[in-house]
Structures are given as structure tokens and as C-alpha cells.
Amino acid sequence: MSGPSGPPPPPPSVEGSEGTASLDDLPEAARSRLTEGAAPGGTWTSDLSVSELSAVERCGFTPAGMVVGMTVYQFGMQGYYGTSGGLGSTMGGQLYTTPGWAGGYQQTYLCQHATYGHMPGYNFEDLWYEQGLTEAYTLAIDRLREEADLLGAHGVVGVRYDSHRVPLASSAPVIEVRMVGTAIRREGSPPLSEPFTSHLSGQQFAKLIDTGWVPGALVVGVGAIRSYGGCVVGNGTSSGVTYQYASGEFRQRSDAIQNCRRFAVDRLETHATGYGERVVGVDVAAQFHSSMEDTMMVENVMIGTAVRRFRDIKDPQPARVVVGLADVSR
Amino acid sequence: MSTPPEQPTPSEPHLADLALDALRRPPGQSGGGNGMPRSGHRRAVSTDFSVDEAILVEGTGYEPLGLVAGAAIYRPPFWGRYGVSMRENRELADLSNSLHAARTIAMGRLRAEAEAHHADGVVGVRLEFEGAEGKGRDYRFNAIGTAVRATRHATVRANERQSDGLPPRQGEVFTSDLSGRDFALLARAGYVPVGMVMGVCVYHVARRQFGDWLKTQNANIELELITTALYDSRELAMERMQLESHALGADGIVGVQIKEETHVWGSHVIEFLAIGTAVRLVADEHRSLRPEMVAPLDDLTVDTDPRRLHGR
């Protein structure tokens, strides 16, 4: 499994990181389980509920087996990571000499004080970190897809995803990204070059097919912005008064969060454009804010299912208004 | 294996095969070929709609344009918490104003992003207080939703059913915290959303005198002081929300939520937030929906909303 090493990577490009995982990538245990499952008379597994199973079968698919995609990924230290306001006057220099963040979004917020010598505030996009996050999620999705491929499946539905920090013996941050879903197969149909992946439940998948849409792939969009407050939030002496008594919007921080979301959505859409016209069920898979003194880090991972229209339903049946008689309290 | 219901003729290929065939073609050429416009390489549109919502909103004649978000970090007034006596029931107006301003800024940013998409409005808005951070206890608010626009389709339908779709534009995009499903139902009932409205009241609840407490600790009595405080602040928040709705020229507000939170202030300071979607009747009269009764076979242990699927 490849990790970040060597020279700093180019700006995050989801297309670029595709195919980094190959079939040889899957551990032996996974290959053995999948081969057993794919053999004639093998057992299929699924985490579909009974209703999901019937919904999937109703639209002509059968379960092929549960598939897993995961990665444990380390983010390379870039000198600034984990520091908090201690960068002082060297920050400006570092900001522009570290290749990891050259070329990304950056914005300077000048000191509003009449006096001189105060640090300006900086917002900048952490391209290095973004690249890492994107690769981690893409690796997990790719492996999910490879496992489905080994099972001879056409797609994966009901993918659940999760990511968390792994407290391993590394001073650099390490995360685990894991995904689990059920691969499904259409009997008698030749294999796809790339099985689809989707986080939609069995019922949602069935409704999607009925209305003329098919899932293309799980798509991911990532944004990571660092915001150094400069004197605006000053933990120093002269700006302390300003800090404590001022009230109002903290524009620099608003911009950091706003742009981080914007970047994540933009990249999600760019990634999805290769798979379909729309993305449904976009969810914020991971969101991280941390503030230490005058430093804030914002990260956003958005995930959704890109869907493609395969049939124009000319006169879609208008949805009916119903009162459900199911007992929700149970 | 049962067959899907939508099989027009026996000669027609199975929907599943049509779907898989589409995936074998390069993206942008996935059209069924029956006269539907090919999308070319237009950028994909992101939505946080579930499949149900996507179908329903589209059925109303609206098309999604993309996810839009608005963020605001707001530093509350330093003295906002103070200057009130321990025994006083009083609104902390500076804090009320700052919380209202912060939310308004976040919603304004969201609308600005929607405006950039040439949207008519934003549906399914989730406006959340995400915590207070840093030494300044800055509030962090985030709003996110899906921008939508009425299609030509909606205009045609609007003629037939007069109201479906077609919101008042008034130069501003509407916002609504209703789900895609509720939005579709609302349109069907003859209403359109005008905007999200809110009222905020941060209130200091007085502490009782020790003597009072001592005298009454074994009695069944109403704690009038505290009742008044909570009653007052709730009513103030609701009234402000009503006034906002009135200013928008709305007929009413649906889906009002009243939230009671202490945020970062500890005991005795409470924020009441009243928030909802102001709506206006555009049809001649309210159309009742006459729902059918069904016993759904959806299973209840599995949430089919993809927004909540994560870690199902």
C-alpha cells in the first residue's frame, strides 16, 4: 500500500489518484474469501436488511457478497503541523517556500491597528493535506470496487463509511478510512469495466433504477484550510484589548470555513462529472475544526453517489400523498 | 425473482440491463437515445437530497443546481453576559442581537452562493450552531442546503395547477428548512416558501432568594419567577420570528421549532430560538391533499435517508 513519500505531490486531483490501488493490493485473506464466495455454490453474504434485499431483487439484481475497502493512512508532517501560534515571524517565509501549499488558495488579512509590527492573518489551503485525504478515501473506494470485481459483481450498494484517527506510534496524524457494502450482480450480464459503488440503501437504489437513473460511483470532495489569526486574535499584549472587547463577525474565520466547504463541494462535483450528471445524498463524511490559540484548522470531506440518467421517463408518475400506517415508535 | 412493475412491453429490455448498458458508455452519453437531450460534459450537480427527495422535487418542476453553504464566525460582545443582577429576570439584548446577527450572516452567505447559481431558492437548509471556540468564545454557524430553480416544466404545470412551483423571486432567493419532500407537498397544497425566519432571545433567569427557597421547599407551588422568565423569553423569540415573517409578506410559518440552549454561558442564561419557514399561498385557496392510507413495507430498522446512513 502506497503512502506519501518522495517529493510533494501535485495539487489534489481525484482523477490522478485513481488506479493507484491494483488488484495485487488486496490482502491475501480478502482474495481468499472473495474467491470462495465467487465459486459456484459459494456462500454470498450481505448486510442488506430483508426489505433491502427484496428491493434489490425486484429490480433484477442478486447479492454477490459483502465487500470491504479500507486504508490506514499517514499524513506527512510539513513543519507547521501541530504548531500553534509558535510560528512567529518565520511563518511568512515558510508559507511560500513549502511546496505543499504553493499554488492553493491563500488570503492575507492585514492588521487594522494604527501601530506597526503586528502579524497579518493568513488563510491558506493545505494542498498537501488535501491530497492525502483525497487519496485515503479514493484508496478505500477503489478497493471496495476491486473486491466487487473479484466477486464478478456489477456494483455495490449500501456502502457505509467511517473514518477516525488511529493513535498509532507515529507523531504524524494517521487515519483509518473504512467502507463496507454489499456487492450485487445482474445474472447473465457481461461484467462492467468498473463496478459502480453507492451509499444508497437497497430501497433507494430500487427507486433510482425505477426512475431511470443508475449509480455511477461514490465520489469524494475534500477541502482543508489553515487559518492563522495574526494580531486580530492576538494572544499578545497590545492587541489583547481589541481582542476582548470587540464584537462582530470574524471575517477571516468565516472565509476559512466558507471556502473549505466550497472547495469540497467543487471537487465533489468535478470528481462526479466523470460518473454522472448528478450527485445524490451528499453527506459531510468528516468534518474537523480545531482551534488552538490563534490557529484554526478546518477540514471537510464530502461524499455522495454520482448518478447517471439511462432512460428518460417521459411522464413520470406523480408521487402520491399517503399516510403511512407503519408504527414508527417500534 | 420478481419482475419490476415498469415493463411496458415484453420486447423491451429489462431496466437493469438498460442501466448497466448506460454504465458501459462513456459518461455524458448515457442517454437512452429516445430523444432525450444528451448532457454532454456538463458539470455534475451535487445535492444532499435522498433519492425520494430528488424525485419529489423534480416532480414539482424544480431542478437542483448544487449544494450551497454559508458560514459565520461571530465574536459575541464581551460584556454581554454581565451587568445583570443575580435576582433579575431580564433579556441580555446584546447576546440576543449577536446570535441573531451571526445566523443572519450565515444565511446571507448561503443565499449569495445560491444567487451565483441563478437559483430561485434553497431547500432543505440546515442551519446549525457548531460550537463556540477560541478564547473569544466565537460562535460558529454553518448553513447548508441544495439550491433549486424552477424549470420550464414548472411553468407549464403552474398554468394547469396555478401554483405548483413558481416562487416569488423579488430579487432574492428564498430559503427553506423544509425537506425536499415537504417542499413538494407544500407546492402541491398551493404554497411556496418565502424564506426562513427566526427570532432569538437570550434571557437571564433570576436566582431565587434563599429565604424563599427555605420557606417553600416542602410546598407544592409554581415557581412563578422562573415560569415568567421562561415564558417571557419564549414568547419574545416567537414574536420576533412572527415579525420577520410579516416583513416578508408571508401568510404563515410552517415547521416552527423552538430550541432552548445554554450554549457556553452555563446556568441561568438561556437562548430561545424560534425558527421556521415562512410560506405564502399562491393558489386561490389551500388545496387539501387527501392522502391515501398505506402500510409500507419499508423496514424501520434501516434509515433509508442517505444523510443518516453513515455508520448505519
Residue of B6, B55, B109 with shortest CB distance to A258: B109
- ipTM attached to this prediction: 0.79
pLDDT over 90 for what percent of chain B?
38
For chain B, helix, strand, coil in percent to 5 are: 30, 30, 40
Nearest to A105 by CA among A223, A269, A229: A223
- Max Cα-Cα span within chain B: 88
pLDDT-based confidence at residue A229 (cuts at 50, 70, 90) = confident
pLDDT (mean) for B110-114: 94
Helix (H), strand (E) at residue B303 = none
Label each residue of A167-178 as H, E or C: CCCCCCCEEEEE
Contact: A233, B135; criterion CB under 8 Å = yes
Higher per-residue confidence, A43 vs A245:
A43
Minimum mean pLDDT range among A6-20, A47-61, B108-122: A6-20
| Any A CB within 8 A of B289 CB | yes
Residue B200 pLDDT > 70: yes
Q: Which of residues 8-37 of B touch A (CB under 8 A)?
A: 14-24, 27, 30-32, 34-36
Can you tell me the distance from the alpha carbon of B130 to that of B152, in angstroms, rounded to the nearest whole number? 38
Q: Which of residues 71-130 of A touch B (CB under 8 A)?
A: none
pLDDT tens for B214-229 read: 888 888 989 888 999 9
In chain A, what residues touch B105 (CB-CB under 8 Å)?
249, 254
| DSSP-assigned letters across all residues of A265-329 | HHHHHHHHHTT-SEEEEEEEEEEEEEEETTEEEEEEEEEEEEEEE-S--SSPPPPPPEEE-S-TT
What is the pLDDT, as a whole number, of residue B196? 95
What is the pLDDT, as a whole number, of residue A150? 92
What is the pLDDT, as a whole number, of residue B16? 92
pLDDT tens for B151-184 read: 876 633 332 333 444 444 445 789 999 998 889 8
Nearest to B74 by CA among A257, A236, A320: A257
pLDDT (mean) for A227-255: 62
Chosen from A164, A310, A320 to mutate, greatest number of chain B CBs within 10 A:
A310
Residue B62 pLDDT > 60: yes
Q: Which of residues 39-58 of B touch A (CB under 8 A)?
A: 39, 41-52, 54-56, 58
pLDDT tens for A153-205 read: 999 999 999 888 887 766 677 889 999 999 999 999 999 999 999 999 999 99
pLDDT tens for B6-59 read: 555 556 788 899 999 999 987 655 444 433 344 455 789 999 999 989 988 888
| Any B CB within 8 A of A214 CB | yes
In chain B, what residues touch A285 (CB-CB under 8 Å)?
310
Residue of B1, B74, B293 with shortest CB distance to A323: B293
What is the pLDDT, as a whole number, of residue A245? 56
pLDDT (mean) for A73-88: 50
What is the pLDDT, as a whole number, of residue A102? 54
Arithmetic mean of pLDDT over chain B: 80
pLDDT (mean) for A21-35: 76
Arithmetic mean of pLDDT over chain A: 77
**CA of B214 vs chain A CAs: smallest distance (Å):** 40
Contact: A280, B47; criterion CB under 8 Å = yes
Residue of B32, B49, B311 with shortest CB distance to A280: B49
pLDDT-based confidence at residue A137 (cuts at 50, 70, 90) = very high
pLDDT (mean) for B67-86: 84
Minimum mean pLDDT range among A103-107, A245-249, B216-220: A245-249
**CA of B178 vs chain A CAs: smallest distance (Å):** 16
Helix (H), strand (E) at residue A136 = helix A127-150
pLDDT tens for A36-68 read: 888 887 788 898 988 899 999 999 999 999 999
Write b or e for each residue in A73-92: b if 16 or more Cβ atoms lie within 10 A of its Cβ, otherwise e.
bbbbebebbeebbebeeebe
pLDDT-based confidence at residue A108 (cuts at 50, 70, 90) = confident
| Any B CB within 8 A of A137 CB | no
pLDDT (mean) for B67-81: 86
What is the pLDDT, as a whole number, of residue A265? 95
Contact: B32, A203; criterion CB under 8 Å = no
**CA of A116 vs chain B CAs: smallest distance (Å):** 23
**CA of B114 vs chain A CAs: smallest distance (Å):** 12
Q: Show the DSSP H helices in chain B as ranges.
A: 15-24, 51-59, 93-116, 152-161, 180-189, 210-216, 224-247
Minimum mean pLDDT range among A217-226, A320-329, B142-151: A320-329
Residue of B64, B299, B306 with shortest CB distance to A204: B306
Residue B110 pLDDT > 70: yes
Pair type for strands A155-165 and A106-109: unpaired
pLDDT-based confidence at residue A90 (cuts at 50, 70, 90) = very low
What is the pLDDT, as a whole number, of residue A49? 87
φ, ψ for residue A102 (rounded to 5)? -70, 135
Pair type for strands A121-125 and A106-109: antiparallel
Contact: B47, A279; criterion CB under 8 Å = yes
What is the pLDDT, as a whole number, of residue A92? 34
Report CA A183 to chain centroid distance, whole Å: 21
Identify the bridge partners of residue A284 per DSSP, sorted by sequence position.
Answer: A302
Q: Which chain A residue lies closest to B309 (C-alpha atoms)? A: A160
Give CA separation, A223 vs A114, A257, A287, B272, in Å: 35, 9, 10, 33
Q: Which chain B residue lies closest to A158 (C-alpha atoms)? A: B309
Tally Cβ neighbours within 10 Å of residue A127. Answer: 23
What is the pLDDT, as a whole number, of residue A77? 61
Contact: A201, B306; criterion CB under 8 Å = yes
Residue of A62, A268, A311 with shortest CB distance to B46: A268
What is the pLDDT, as a whole number, of residue A237? 34
Write b or e for each residue in B223-252: b if 16 or more Cβ atoms lie within 10 A of its Cβ, otherwise e.
eebeeebbebbbebbbebbbebbeebebee
In chain A, what residues touch B21 (CB-CB under 8 Å)?
310
What is the pLDDT, as a whole number, of residue A91? 36
Contact: B136, A262; criterion CB under 8 Å = no
Minimum mean pLDDT range among A122-131, A229-238, A318-327: A229-238
Contact: B300, A328; criterion CB under 8 Å = yes
